[in-house]
Amino acid sequence: MTTSSKRKREFRTQLDDLPKISVEGHPDKRISAWEIQTSTGKKVIWLHYNRYFHMWSGTHAAAQKAAAGTTLIHAFLGPKSDQYYIVPDSDLHNEFTLYDQDDGRGWLLNAAGEAAATKENEDLLTEYRSFSILTT
């Protein structure tokens, strides 16, 4: 079974292999995020892992801390190397249906199940399967 930390290391290798992207550690080691330098400037990519590749969550405070004034991008990962979605934070909060968690302090993105909003999320995510999102 692939663990979260192993999959995140594999994803780092995938990013390192991309032209036009330089990956650096994030100053706050408690956040599962990296700073990346692209042709369009510095960005922060925050990693979210789910072994079933359909449900991820985060907190608003961690997102603000991770981004610290730069563009924030979420990488939603599953256990296999071809299981990833790369979603800009602005798209995440404007295009997807997110569920509140912890009295509004956090959010949950669900892309599995029978609810209409969940199916809409699943369909939307297919548009976020490209590393080119990082350099636009």
pLDDT digits (tens, 9 = 90+) for 63-85: 888 787 889 999 999 999 999 99
CB 43, CB 87: distance < 8 Å:
no
**Which class is domain 4-135?**
alpha beta
pTM score of the predicted model: 0.91
pLDDT bin (cut points 50, 70, 90) of residue 30 is low
